[in-house]
């Protein structure tokens, strides 16, 4: 996920474990019988006859030379159909070429190859996206499957939907695959279609890229070491941390406001670029639906969705413990349903910090809007530092407040409970500005324009 706004940002992309969307059937051209074509011809001839009668007088009076009306009507229909087919074919070609060029740009570290298939503004977005991907440790990307959805053309503008499966290769040799819906916008420039935008609504692209106006009823605070643009919760430093654990209730955000939130525990990421973390995430479309996932992540590798079903209101416990050397045991348990997911991973960590966080995840080149998650309650939040198991209070954990670009608090942690290991994080009424990704703490990055 992303790191806090005074530390490095992380990168997360759904892995192969994430279920691929159900693809719509490929568009097909309906088969027409010769009898239906004959009927269309007869109808066209009838129309032509009527038109011919109505203009005959004018033709004779004005000396007009008119083609056969029936031929004219059929010719117009044929040309319109041919033009539409040609536009769709050209749109498919430019999208395929744009995808090939993005992969080529990363492979050769040459963004200029993407210029001919994008508008100037979208070209700059693609440059930033590729920078995000490479900073996340990705060395190459490859489009392994493309399915076409609807394509519509309106004058010099067009919309196209695709379902794309991409394979990402990381610097450590690991491979990650994800399937996303892409909604392309295209414009006709100098007789050629170019891409002007690419949204991925199914992968957390939950809102406009334009910042929202700050809420005048929320007072700003002075930004400092205890504030972040993407983290809220508690973080502990000053020891060698080998284990972290915490229990929380999966939030049930408002389904009418688009956004995302992630709740997790982790080790590293405060003042360092390494971070091993695991938790739950909610993505809200703003159209009355929300998606809930459980995941693990090890920077700079991308997020892995794990096969643990979580629902709003469920109690979830996550524990990350170092075994021997770089071996880590990661355990996620849904206490409400009694389901568990356990795995052992290999990861080199600085062991420099422990965190209990509510985050505004990042998508591509920006921090996503924070959804209206309400209040998240943490309990049994502990860490092992220098061989001792400590509460957040005993580990000298410091509170972190998430702020927007107007320095208004977005999510605020409460004081620690009397047990030193429980607290809440509450979403405020402040507007969730869509800020550039890459603040104080590591974050998640998705492929795409």
Per-position DSSP letters for 79-91, written without gaps between them: HHHHHHHHHHHHH
User: Within a domain: residue 184?
Assistant: yes
Q: What pLDDT, in 10s, does the model give residues 171-197?
A: 666 666 667 788 999 999 999 999 999
Burial class, 273, CB count within 10 angstroms (exposed 0-12 / middle 13-18 / buried 19+): middle
Q: Give the SS3 label for residue 197.
A: strand
Paired tokens of 304: 């892995």
Instruction: Based on the fold, state whether residues 139 and 247 are members of the same structural domain.
Output: no
pLDDT tens digits, residue range 116-144?
A: 999 999 998 898 788 767 755 678 999 99
Whether residue 354 is contained in a domain is answered as: yes
Let me know if residue 72 belongs to a domain. Answer: no
SS3 assignment, position 107:
helix
133 lies in the same domain as 277: no
Structural domain tally of the chain?
2
Which of 170, 203, 236 is the C-terminal boundary of a domain?
203
| Degrees, nearest 5: CA angle 89-93-97 | 175
Q: Angle 229-416-241 (CA atoms, 0-180°, nearest 5)?
A: 70
The CA-based angle 230-231-235, given to 5 degrees, is 155
Residue 37 predicted with pLDDT over 80: no
Does some domain include residue 408? yes
pLDDT tens for residues 286-333?
677 888 999 999 988 878 899 999 999 999 999 999 999 999 999 999
pLDDT given at position 8: 34
Which whole number is the average pLDDT over 233-260?
Answer: 93
CATH number of the domain to which 101 belongs = 3.10.450.50
Domain assignment of residue 139, yes or no: yes
- Res 225 pLDDT > 60: yes
Boundary of a domain, candidates 143, 170, 203: 203
Cα–Cα distance between 361 and 315 in angstroms, integer?
A: 21
Q: Per mean pLDDT, which of 124-138, 149-163, 262-276, 381-395 is the most reliable?
A: 381-395
**Mean pLDDT value across residues 385-395:** 98
Distance CA 126, CA 123 (A): 5
| Inter-residue contact 316 to 27 (CB < 8 Å) | no
* H helix or E strand, kind and range, residue 423: strand 423-427
Whether residue 69 has pLDDT greater than 50: no
pLDDT at 106 over 50: yes
Is 232 found in the same domain as 197? no
Given a contact cutoff of 8 angstroms between Cβ atoms, the answer to whether 266 and 246 are in contact is: no
pLDDT mean across residues, the chain: 77
The pLDDT, as a whole number, for residue 339 is 97
pLDDT computed for residue 60 by the predictor: 35
* 68 compared with 118, residue with greater pLDDT: 118
Instruction: Please tell me whether residues 142 and 289 are part of one structural domain.
Output: no
Look at residue 394 and tell me whether its pLDDT is greater than 90: yes
pLDDT band, very low/low/confident/very high, at 6 (cuts 50, 70, 90): very low
Q: Which carries the bigger pLDDT value, residue 41 or residue 443?
A: 443
Identify the band that residue 272 occupies on the pLDDT scale cut at 50, 70 and 90.
Answer: confident
Same domain, 253 and 401: yes
- Pair (277, 380) in one structural domain: yes
Query: What CATH number does the domain containing 266 carry?
Result: 2.60.120.700
135 and 238 belong to one structural domain: no
pLDDT at 303: 81
Q: Evaluate whether residue 217 is within a structural domain.
A: no
**pLDDT value, residue 27:** 29
Map tokens 């298939």 to a residue: 117
DSSP 8-state class, residue 20:
P
Regarding predicted confidence, which is higher, 364 or 270?
270
Residue 436 has pLDDT above 60, yes or no: no
> Which of these, 346, 355, 328, 392, lies nearest to 270 by C-alpha position?
355
Q: Do residues 193 and 231 share a domain?
A: no
Instruction: Write down the pLDDT at residue 174.
Output: 64
Co-location of 165 and 265 in the same domain? no
The answer on pLDDT for 244 being more than 70 is yes
Residue 375 belongs to some domain of the structure: yes
How much is the pLDDT for 50? 33
Q: Which of 194-203, 240-249, 357-366, 438-447 has the lowest mean pLDDT?
A: 438-447
CA gap 253, 260 in Å, rounded: 9
Residue 33 confidence (pLDDT): 30
pLDDT confidence bin for 449, thresholds 50/70/90: very low
| Close Cβ partners of 300 (under 8 Å, ≥ 6 residues apart) | 10, 11, 135, 136, 137, 138, 170, 171, 273
Residue 142 lies in domain: 81-203
Q: Which residues contact 17 (CB under 8 A, 6 or more apart)?
A: 304, 305, 306, 307
Q: Which of 170-179, 277-286, 381-390 has the lowest mean pLDDT?
A: 170-179
Does 298 fall in a domain?
A: yes
Integer Cα distance of 97 and 95 in angstroms: 5
Q: In terms of pLDDT, which residue wins out, 96 or 56?
A: 96
What Cα–Cα distance (Å) separates residue 6 from each residue in 68, 171, 227, 228, 258?
75, 25, 8, 7, 26
189 and 318 fall within a common domain = no
User: What is d(CA 277, CA 26) in angstroms, rounded to the nearest whole number?
Assistant: 39
Strongest mean pLDDT among 4-8, 44-48, 173-177, 425-429: 425-429
The verdict on 251 and 361 lying in the same domain is: yes
Q: Report how far residue 334's alpha carbon sits from residue 314's, in angstroms, rounded to the nearest whole number.
A: 7
- Give the whole-number percent of the chain exceeding pLDDT 90: 51
Query: Do 411 and 294 sit in the same domain of this protein?
Result: yes
């Amino acid at each position: 996920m992303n790191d806090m706004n005074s530390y490095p940002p992380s990168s997360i992309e759904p892995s192969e474990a994430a279920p691929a969307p159900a693809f719509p059937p490929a568009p097909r051209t309906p088969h027409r019988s010769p009898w239906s074509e004959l009927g269309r011809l007869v109808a066209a001839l009838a129309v032509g006859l009527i038109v011919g009668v109505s203009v005959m007088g004018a033709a004779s009076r004005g000396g007009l030379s008119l083609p056969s009306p029936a031929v004219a009507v059929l010719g117009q229909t044929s040309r319109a159909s041919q033009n539409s087919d040609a536009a769709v074919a050209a749109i498919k070609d430019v999208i395929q070429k744009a995808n090939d060029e993005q992969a080529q740009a990363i492979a050769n570290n040459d963004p200029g190859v993407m210029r001919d298939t994008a508008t100037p503004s979208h070209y700059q977005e693609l440059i930033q996206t590729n920078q995000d991907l490479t900073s996340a440790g990705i060395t190459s990307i490859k489009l392994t499957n493309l399915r076409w959805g609807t394509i519509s053309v309106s004058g010099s503008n067009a919309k196209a939907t695709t379902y794309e499966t991409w394979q990402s290769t990381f610097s450590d040799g690991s491979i990650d695959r994800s399937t996303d819906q892409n909604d392309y916008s295209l414009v006709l420039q100098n007789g050629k279609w170019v891409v002007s935008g690419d949204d991925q609504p199914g992968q957390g692209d939950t809102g406009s890229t334009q910042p929202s106006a700050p809420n005048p009823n929320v007072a700003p605070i002075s930004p400092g070491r205890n504030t972040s643009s993407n983290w809220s919760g508690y973080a502990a430093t000053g020891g060698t941390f080998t284990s972290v654990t915490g229990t929380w209730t999966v939030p049930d955000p408002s389904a009418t406001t688009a956004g995302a939130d992630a709740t997790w525990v982790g080790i590293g990421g405060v003042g360092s670029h390494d971070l091993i973390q695991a938790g739950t995430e909610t993505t809200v479309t703003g159209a009355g639906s929300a998606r809930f996932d459980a995941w693990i992540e090890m920077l700079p590798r991308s997020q892995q969705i794990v096969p643990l079903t979580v629902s709003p209101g469920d109690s979830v416990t996550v524990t990350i413990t170092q075994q021997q050397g770089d071996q880590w045991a990661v355990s996620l348990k849904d206490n409400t349903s009694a389901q568990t997911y356990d795995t052992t991973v290999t990861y080199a960590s600085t062991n420099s910090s422990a965190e209990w966080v509510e985050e505004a995840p990042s998508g591509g080149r920006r921090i996503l809007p924070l959804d209206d998650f309400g209040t998240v309650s943490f309990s049994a939040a502990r860490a092992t530092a220098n061989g001792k198991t400590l509460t957040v209070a005993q580990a000298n954990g410091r509170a972190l407040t998430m702020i927007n670009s107007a320095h208004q608090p977005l999510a605020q942690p409460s004081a620690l409970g009397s047990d030193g290991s429980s607290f809440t994080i509450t979403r405020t009424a402040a507007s969730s500005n869509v800020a550039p990704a890459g603040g104080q703490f590591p974050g998640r990055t998705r492929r795409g324009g």
